[in-house]
Structure 1
Amino acid sequence: MNNEQEPKRKRGFQMPHIYVILFIFIIVAAVSTYFIPAGQFDEVTGPEDRVSIDPQSYQQVEQTPVGAEQFMLAIPRGLVDAGEVVFFTLIIGGLFMVLRKTGIIEVGVHKLTRFFAGQSTAVIPILMVVFAVICSIIGTQELSLVYAPVIIPLMIALRYDSIVAVAVALIATTAGFMAGFLNPINTGLAQQIADLPLYSGIEFRLTAFALILGTGIWYVVHYARKVQANPESSLVYEDDAEKRNLYLHQEQTETMEFSKKQKTAAVMLGLLFAVLIYGVIVEGWFMLEMSGLFIVMGIVVGLIAGLTATQICDGFNEGFRDVLVGAVIVGVARAVAIMMEDGQVMDTIIHNLGGAVGHMPGMFSAVGMFVVQLLFNFLVPSGSGQALVTMPIMAPLSDLIGVTRQTAVLAFQFGDGLGNILFPTSGYFMATLVLAGVSWQKWVRFYLPLFFIWTAISGVLLLVAQVIQWNGA
């Protein structure tokens, strides 16, 4: 009887491992180079001496389909190309394991849990507003990699789950990035390419920011309350078992106080985070500089808290092991774009997508631009990279089809932001999930309804912008 039932249990569909999914994408990208005509745009120097494209220069070139050797080297080359993100992911994993060994995180979570005990839901909108505003000003969605591991212990202690912590980080930063009212990475660069005044149209973008962020907060709070009321309704209930054992017991602890060494270490940690914020905002630091600071942070804070050099090294090693899969995923995902670039079909795809927008009915042209940007985001998840490839085409095209350039920029912002926390080719996003211990498949189950809600809001906002011929002057 049991033998007959066993096969039935195995018949249910199971989502393949993320490596399998990405490898299929790599194969499809490689095969496409045999069927999609090769083509290229001439490169020109764009704003701030960045390499952009000449939208009038597209021409087909000799077909260069991906060969066996190029396919074999795709993943190793992807790891090399994405080395900065890979390294950043490993270092963050190591840093937070060292901080856990100092005990600072546990005591801090205990105190915050007691502070928010009577109003636990309030912590979600507070954090999301802060994260969204920061991202809308400096444009670094990658800071989700820092936010998520920091707040996971707090969310678990407040009887939420890892998805709530990840959502607070990813959804807030994405809302800020999509609206980008002062974002130099997507809004500023795209407006420069489109010959628009820098940060013009801020009033409409602030309205978009309020709508998108407000919807995101409502969605996360709704899920968080459901999990708090019924923990087994969590999408990651079994995955979070170890975290619950680690952090939930703290509610029963009468007193947890910082030791003198931990207090000094916590103060130093705060000072170094202040240095991080200064570096990102003022000095333009990115992953490489932040990684270097995190190494220093782990060593200095660990020594002050009383850890030995060997304990600090062991902490880094344990953290590296915990996030190794996430780091590798980043490189595997990059291999998809490498196949398209080697086969010289990337420019052909964007050329044809731009042409498709030109044939859409006038009223829906702006929405068509949004859809094109969203689709292209799968191949080029970088905000600045996508702006440099697509905006030189979309800006002059908008003049021909009756869409203001300001609306074209907004369509780019929406399409760029929405896909960054859905497509597995987005490196920082996949790394954030792995740091939090959340699978891509379960995140998609959580995020997909909000994705469609945000898509609808984006479409309505673009239609309004189209109707009023918004120029943001």
Structure 2
Amino acid sequence: MRAEAKVMPVKEEQPKKKKFAFPHIYVILLIFVAVMSIASYVVPAGEYERVEGPMGRMMINPDVFTFIESTPIGLMDFLTAIPQGMVSASSVVFFTFMIGGAFMVLKDTGIIHFGVDRLTRTFISRKVLIIPVLLVTFSVITAFIGTPELALVYVPILIPLMIKLGYDKMMAAGVALISTTGGFLAALTNPGTVGLSHQIAELPVYSGAGYRFLLLVAIITSGVIFLIGYAKKLEKNPQLVKQSLKETASHHIYQEKNYDITTRQQVAGIVVILMFVGMIYGVLTHQWDFIKLAGYFLAMGVIVGIVAGMSGNQISESFNKGFRDVLLGAMIIGVARGVAVVMEESQIIDTIIYGLSHAVSSLPSSITVLGMLATQGLFNFFVPSGSGQALITMPIMIPLADIVGTTRQTAILAFQIGDGLSNIIFPTSGYFMATIAAAGISYGKWAKFIFPLLIVWFFIGCAFLLVAHAMTWGPF
């Protein structure tokens, strides 16, 4: 008899579960524009009276608010919100393009790679020290001049540096954004936030810098600890670095190559340093805006290229390559601005701040300062400009501070902390989104990376505010 063959049951293949893919940033921002458009049909329109404030800028009169006829967003208004956002944010968009172009010139001259090589040789045996050195340097610059947008300037240099030291592009973005955001959050003499708020509150300009310096130390120290911990993680898992290097190389951000530097390139490097110092001077003493900074970076690229021996055609092509590298970041800035455009067109932005201020005023006096922090952070989603937010919210928060018994200095610190914390996570913050786009990092990966530090910063900020309130910090 023939043995019967056993038929093995065929296992049905289980369908693979799809992993959650974080939406593209354009999708996220478009959803926000749509939500705000729908909100224009629900939130009543309103407006505060505008009066002339410090330096001729218009600010709100907190005593005069009226509800007005609603102007909800129609289909055409929704479709044109993003193009209008591009126009409205044009100064920041072109600033981003000029940074990209100027730094591509510096890269093509070999100056950046030479500098990276020197820094690598200096820190290769103790590479973890590069983290506190860079964080302290960049944060102090921002704490004085108040330009967190410099993160866009630092990233093109930091990516090749971090990769040569054995780290990845997330580390580069972390150093750039944590340092500039920390310096902005605890700013000592930021003209656009601290200086303007002090003028509105009728306080001595830049007073209270000693207490803000202690906050700066706490914020940057926690940032250093956080990034050193990430560095140790990379050292234990080299596969993470290899993957980042593969992705970075595919974007032509970094190439392993030795550069010989000529006398002309050395002179060009000195010119770069002098022009960078000149930029800090211009921002600090003349309050250069984004248009002036864009022109300055254009001049930097041209001058450095000529000094280094590049022809006009070579400089032009370098600018073109730089424009292409930062295109995504520049577009994100304009798209993000579309959210504010919808709120301005429907005239619900004043209604929102009116409602938030009443919510804060109903809190117990002991925790009002924390409510101020939360309000400022939330409002920064709609108005990411620090000076713009100061002109809108400070005229309300200053009288509120007087009523609930906290000092005006403390109210301004709540504004600084709330504004600074949200700058590093809200997708409507244009320069932040442009920075991670320039580094080739998705918003989802960044949010997962930075969230633990954000929580630490939040509790540090709350502690400093509660102490300031308890000791009645400030002139009055």
Name the structure 1 match of 2:289: 286
Q: Secondary structure at the match of 2:51?
A: strand
1:56 maps onto 2:59 in alignment:
no
Q: Secondary structure at the match of 2:287?
A: coil
Equivalence map 1:63-212=2 (5 Å): 63-212=70-219
| Contact 2:37–2:342 (Cα < 8 Å) also in 1 | yes
Q: Distance between the aligned counterparts of 1:205 and 1:173, measured in 2?
A: 15
Q: Distance between the aligned counterparts of 1:246 and 1:27, measured in 2?
A: 35
Quote the offset at 1:296 in angstroms.
2.2
1:441 maps onto 2:444 in alignment:
yes
Q: Name the stretch that deviates more: 35-44 or 208-217.
A: 208-217
| Contact 1:91–1:291 (Cα < 8 Å) also in 2 | yes
Name the structure 2 match of 1:8: 16
Instruction: Pick from 423, 426, 447 the counterpart of residue 420 of structure 1.
Output: 423
Q: Write out per-residue CA displacement over residues 341-361 of structure 1, whole angstroms, 9 at most, x where no aligned residue.
A: 111110000001000011112
Equivalence map 1:198-347=2 (5 Å): 198-233=205-240, 237=244, 240-242=247-249, 249=256, 257-347=260-350
Quote the offset at 1:23 in angstroms.
0.1
Cα RMSD of the aligned pairs, angstroms, is 2.2
Instruction: Pick from 449, 452, 455 the counterpart of residue 452 of structure 1.
Output: 455
Unaligned runs of 5+ in 1: none
In the superposition, the TM-score normalised over structure 1's length comes to 0.93
Q: Write out per-residue CA displacement over residues 24-59 of structure 1, whole angstroms, 9 at most, x where no aligned residue.
A: 000001110000011000000111211100001111
Instruction: Pick from 41, 57, 72 the counterpart of residue 34 of structure 1.
Output: 41
Q: Distance between the aligned counterparts of 1:463 and 1:206, measured in 2?
A: 16
Query: Which amino acid in structure 2 is aligned with residue 230 of structure 1?
Result: N
Q: Distance between the aligned counterparts of 2:271 and 2:407, measured in 1?
A: 50
Quote the offset at 1:245 in angstroms.
8.9
Name the structure 1 match of 2:6: none
Query: Which amino acid in structure 2 is aligned with residue 313 of structure 1?
Result: S
Q: Secondary structure at the match of 1:43?
A: strand
Q: Distance between the aligned counterparts of 2:407 and 2:133, measured in 1?
A: 35
Q: Distance between the aligned counterparts of 2:422 and 2:252, measured in 1?
A: 34
Instruction: Pick from 349, 354, 358 the counterpart of residue 357 of structure 2.
Output: 354
Query: Which amino acid in structure 2 is aligned with residue 8 of structure 1?
Result: K
| Contact 1:41–1:54 (Cα < 8 Å) also in 2 | yes
Q: Name the stretch that deviates more: 267-276 or 241-250.
A: 241-250
Q: Secondary structure at the match of 2:22?
A: coil
Name the structure 1 match of 2:465: 462
The change in CA–CA distance for 1:353 and 1:244 in structure 2 (over 3 A counts) is closer
Q: Distance between the aligned counterparts of 2:378 and 2:21, measured in 1?
A: 26
Query: Which amino acid in structure 2 is aligned with residue 276 of structure 1?
Result: M
Q: Distance between the aligned counterparts of 1:29 and 1:238, measured in 2?
A: 39
Aligned-residue sequence identity (percent) comes to 48
For these two proteins, the number of residue pairs brought into alignment is 467
Unaligned runs of 5+ in 2: 1-9
In the superposition, the TM-score normalised over structure 2's length comes to 0.93
Q: Distance between the aligned counterparts of 1:64 and 1:304, measured in 2?
A: 55
The change in CA–CA distance for 1:200 and 1:123 in structure 2 (over 3 A counts) is same
The change in CA–CA distance for 1:239 and 1:407 in structure 2 (over 3 A counts) is farther
